Amino acid sequence: MLTEYIRAAMRHAMYEILEDGTYYAEIPHLQGVFANQKTLEACREELKSVLEGWILLGLQLGHPLPIVDGIDLNQREIAV
């Protein structure tokens, strides 16, 4: 499920070339998930790494994560 969430979020990434020739990427609706690198591939890899860290931190802190393409990573209480 985590891999699918990451893939789905990465499909929403938006990229642009900045005036200095570097690449900037962000994933709308995922506040703080952005990257800036010299090449497009490096930018994609950094964005994915930032996304992974953002997810892990959010889960660790108990923050609700946005549902992406119907994928919900938020913990649910388990009935015993």
In this prediction the pTM is 0.90
73 in any annotated domain: no
21 in any annotated domain: yes
The alpha carbon of 80 is separated from its chain's Cα centroid by a whole number of angstroms, namely: 33
- pLDDT at residue 80 greater than cutoff 70: no
Distance CA 72, CA 59 (A): 12
- Specify the CATH number for the domain of residue 33: 3.30.160.250
61: Cβ contacts below 8 Å, ≥ 6 apart:
none
75 in any annotated domain: no
pLDDT, tens digit (0-9, with 9 covering 90-100), for 4-50: 999 999 999 999 999 999 999 999 999 999 999 999 999 999 999 99
What one-character-per-residue DSSP string does 31-78 give? Answer: TT-EEEESSHHHHHHHHHHHHHHHHHHHHHHTPPPPPBTTB-----PP
Q: Which domain holds residue 40?
A: 2-61
Domain count, the chain: 1
80 in any annotated domain: no
Contact 71, 4 (CB under 8 A): yes
